[in-house]
Amino acid sequence: MRMELDLGGEQPLYQQIRDQVVLAIAAGTLREGDNLPPIRELAAEFGIHFHTVNKAYDLLRQEGFIRLSRKSGAVVHTSRSEADTEAWQHKLRLVLAEAVAKGIARAQVDAAYRAVLAEFEHRSSEDAPPQSGRHA
């Protein structure tokens, strides 16, 4: 799992780590049951405090993306509550509001939407039974 952190960037490091993990899961680089790097290892790799990584992992746990245990460390284990889905819809609403408010053309929004989902597509194809006829 490739991870790029922008130390000294504007976003808090723990947030960046969280985002990278979420993107990796969506991209299929990290799959259900996979282990995330041990906290101290990841911290060492980037020369950051292990507390920072710990905070990121704890956030991922809270959000229902991973499980933490002393035995197996951090493991991808997604789950979602209704509240999660609602919170997610609220985020989507805000992102789309920005686009609409800025007057980005509907076609361009649609294109961006499809492009991103296509990028993450493989995932459903891996989980789903390999059916035929999937053209385009």
Partner DNA sequence: GTGGTCTAGACCACT
Residues forming the site for DNA (CB under 7 A): 7, 12-15, 36, 38-41, 47-49, 51-52, 54-55, 57-58, 68-71, 73-74
The dihedrals phi and psi of 10, each to the nearest 5 degrees, come to -80, -35
34 binds a second copy per the rule CB under 8 A: no
| CB environment 43-79: b (16+ within 10 A), e (fewer) | beebebeeebbbbbbbbbeebebbbbeeeebbbbeee
Q: Is 41 in the site for a second copy (CB under 8 A)?
A: no
Backbone angles phi, psi at 76, to 5 degrees: -65, 125
Nearer to a second copy, 70 or 135 (CB): 70
CB of 29 to DNA, least distance (A): 18
Number of residues that bind a second copy (CB under 8 A): 58
Residues in the chain: 136
Q: What is the x/- site pattern for a second copy, positions 107-126, by CB under 8 A?
A: -xx--xx--xx-xx--xx--
